[in-house]
Amino acid sequence: MTVLGATPAHASTGEAVNPWVALAYLLSGVFFILALRGLSSPATSRTGNRYGMIGMAIAMVTTLLTHDIANLVEILIAIAIGAIIGLVIARRIAMTAMPELVAAFHSLVGLAAVLVGWAAYLNPGAFGLLVPMDTIGTDYSLPMQIGAVSKVEMGLGIAIGAITFSGSVIAFLKLSGRMSGSPILLPARHVINLGTLAAIIVLTALFAMAAPAQTMPLIVGLTVLAFLIGFLLIIPIGGADMPVVVSMLNSYSGWAAAAMGFTLGNTAMIITGALVGSSGAILSYIMCRAMNRSFISVIAGGFGADDSGAGGGEAKEQRPYKQGSAQDAAFMLEQAEKVIIIPGYGMAVAQAQHALREMTDILEEKGVEVKFAIHPVAGRMPGHMNVLLAEASVDYDKVFELEDINSEFAQADVAFIIGANDVVNPAAKTDKSSPIYGMPVFDVDKARQVFFIKRSMGGVGYAGVDNDVFYMDQTMMLLADAKKMVEDIVKAMD
């Protein structure tokens, strides 16, 4: 990419000399802000997606029209190939695989930042990054080198991008089942992580101050350590904390793009990256509060992965419980006045959302009030349950967040739990030794009747903690595949 209107001492792109370019990038930024606003609610999420697509189209067209492109045809072919791949994946991907798909996309953003940073380092003249080697930076008769500020921006972009890539790869492997979701706890992992991060900071500073002939070993070491720390940060994190990991990696990808935007002098990348990075960080903070996690420990890595908190995935003891059938559940649901449904990842795995919507329709025809309760960390990514329910055409006004509906369980005739576990576990409120202690959970124990759908009594959820709700007097366990059980309940009600 050759930069238009840039002097050797200024790393700006065409938008610095053309106010219409700056206006176009500002307009794309406005559309990105409107996209985030739309994505804040399921009711407006499609509109938000459209705004984001319009903003990105404006930014891409502006960049292509205002820069000398070596081969525009090749660029357009690459865009077409990427668009086709994206369309095919979007049409074929199962909703249960959406978390690992998001993680995979984050890895590509991080890798792109690394490649752009290295391209700028290897060919700085094409990016307008060269300045004179004198201390004042005005004698253009002297040899040219990359400016110190540009080196810092380049180093940060490469480091954040590499962390995003390797961390997202581990998240993808864990979410897709290709790697165990259990925490992998390395000895002295916090010391190793802090030492590696400190080394990256030192290498970035040395890279910024080094002479041109001395920079190659420094940037190579910085890149390698950044890839390494990405693995080290995510490996100790267990499956129960993956929603926060996905959100945090989303934030990292935004900051990587923003850093590369400064390197390239591209306003659109800076705006977009800052929006993604800040919104991802805010979402991560909200989710940390919902899980009783420390935001600082998320950044440091290994949160929720203390040796004492690593569950084995099996129930601690065999206790008596009541098991029911689809006919039992259908009869009691029909007699209820108010039913609150709590979906979890088990519903996603079984793809039971459509059958659940059908059950809801039948109950409402019989005069039963039905509501859905969504925990902030239900599923394996932020908004996972909202997306599944929207796919099944469940009305948005029936879906409520934890703080909006938790007080209603005391008036509910039935709490219908389908594939959730940790988010309804009262140990979070009563057992200080529990790894989920302090996490806000649904007060399903206050409902008159509880139906709990799970495959068997053998598993106890991601946190590895037994659930007292299984054994309550008002609980009836419905042990079966979630989709089949709901379909049987629908047949029994018909």
* DSSP one-letter code for 338: E
**Which single residue is written with the structure tokens 């040219």?**
144
Letter string b/e over residues 30-55, b meaning 16 or more CB atoms within 10 A of that residue's CB: ebbbbbeebbeebeebeebeebbebb
String of DSSP letters for 42-86: GGGHHHHHHHHHHHHHHHHHHHHHSSB-S-HHHHHHHHHHHHHHH
How far is residue 426's CA from residue 424's CA, in Å, rounded to a whole number? Answer: 6
Q: Which two tokens stand for residue 395?
A: 């009305």
* 381 Cβ neighbours under 8 A, 6+ residues apart: 98, 99, 102, 242, 243, 246, 247
Is position 494 annotated as part of the catalytic site?
no
**From CA 157, how far away is CA 281, in angstroms rounded?**
17
> Who contacts 117 (Cβ-Cβ below 8 Å, separation ≥6)?
154, 155, 157, 158, 161, 260, 263
Contact 346, 419 (CB under 8 A): yes
Residue 442's DSSP bridge partners are none
Query: CA 472 to CA 486: how far, in whole Å?
Result: 22
- Pick the catalytic residue: 422, 443, 481, 488? 422
> Helices 148-175 and 98-122: crossing angle, nearest 10°?
160
In whole angstroms, give the CA distance from residue 454 to residue 397. Answer: 27
Three-class DSSP category at 367? coil
Q: Which residues are catalytic?
A: 422
